[in-house]
Amino acid sequence: MEALFFCLTIVTTIGYGHVQITTDAGKIFCCFYALFGIPITLTMLAAIGGKLADGNRFLEDLVKKRLAFLKKHPDTIRFVNIFIVTTVNLGVFFFLPAYVFSCLETEWSYLDALYYAFITLSTVGFGDYVATLEPRPTYAQNIAYKIGIFCWIMTGLCFLASVFDLLVEEMKGIEDRIKEGMTTPSGEAVLDNGEEMTDKDTEQEIEGQTKKDTNQEEGMSLRARTSKTAVSSAEMEETETCLPDKEKHA
């Protein structure tokens, strides 16, 4: 049974380090075993995670039905939903197992057991606390204890992995919003003074600028025509002035 638990720490990448391989053949076999065992285990964990997600969705739907009177406040429903689902999962995979460990491992406090639960499910696996090192009173109890730990690790890994994925998605969302700059979620541009400028405002501004440019062009054309008229009048006056002089000379 100890060998099975050691294999579990390999394929789940926990690696407590409480058991060391000493032979060359064992080290080579361990490398190949991890090479093929880890992907298979990850595939199995993904399947288990899907079942856990179905359970969480069922719980979310149940909470939404209970909070139907708050349908006008979707943000409140979402917050309460996340709080309840997270609390239930933390209780199932962390707080309750930590209590069991603190009772069965005589030298562990509750904080030690909670620390062990997180270090194990996060696959950090320092090895300073390992739940199976202290023998049980009977062989049957020892087997049952290790099987229980095996099931807890496999399901708990899925839960904590989903939590980490959620945190990564949230951080990516924050990064995307920062990259978008001063653009609101509705696609409205935001001015430096904090005021929003809608598409309608943008169209009005463009239309006003177009009218302004048109008026400027009309003004330039009018000034040009006025200048031409003034030049023509001056030429006509000069011509009329020159005609009497020519008649006198004649």
DSSP codes of every residue in 21-64? --SHHHHHHHHHHHHHHHHHHHHHHHHHHHHHHHHHHHHHHHHH
pTM (whole model) above 0.85 = no
CA distances 170 to 13, 22, 53, 167, 185, Å, are 25, 44, 18, 5, 15
Q: Say if residue 133 is in the same domain as residue 22.
A: yes
Please give the pLDDT value at position 220: 60
**Number of domains the chain contains:** 2
Q: Tell me which DSSP letter residue 95 carries.
A: I
List, in order, residues 6 or more apart from 134 with CB less than 8 Å away.
104, 105, 106, 107
Please give the pLDDT value at position 57: 81
Q: Say if residue 101 is in the same domain as residue 11.
A: yes
Please give the pLDDT value at position 103: 92
Task: Over range 219-247, report the average pLDDT.
Answer: 53
Q: Say if residue 130 is in the same domain as residue 173.
A: yes
Please give the pLDDT value at position 114: 95
Name, of 143-152, 177-186, 235-244, the range with top average pLDDT.
Answer: 143-152
Q: Say if residue 133 is in the same domain as residue 17.
A: yes
Answer whether 9's CB lies under 8 Å from 15's CB: yes
Q: pLDDT averaged over the chain?
A: 77
Q: Say if residue 115 is in the same domain as residue 233.
A: no
Is residue 239 pLDDT above 70, yes or no? no
Q: Say if residue 141 is in the same domain as residue 221.
A: no
Please give the Cα distance from 97 to 120 (Å, whole number): 12
Please give the Cα distance from 24 to 183 (Å, whole number): 60
Task: Over range 103-109, report the average pLDDT.
Answer: 91
Q: 63: which 2 tokens? A: 């909470």
Greater confidence (160 vs 34) lies with 34
Q: For the segment 21-65, what is each residue's pLDDT rounded down to a tens digit?
A: 899 999 999 999 999 999 999 888 888 887 887 877 888 788 888
Task: Over range 205-232, report the average pLDDT.
Answer: 58
Domain that includes residue 81, residue range? 2-181
Is residue 90 pLDDT above 80, yes or no? yes
Res. 140 pLDDT band, cuts 50 70 90: confident
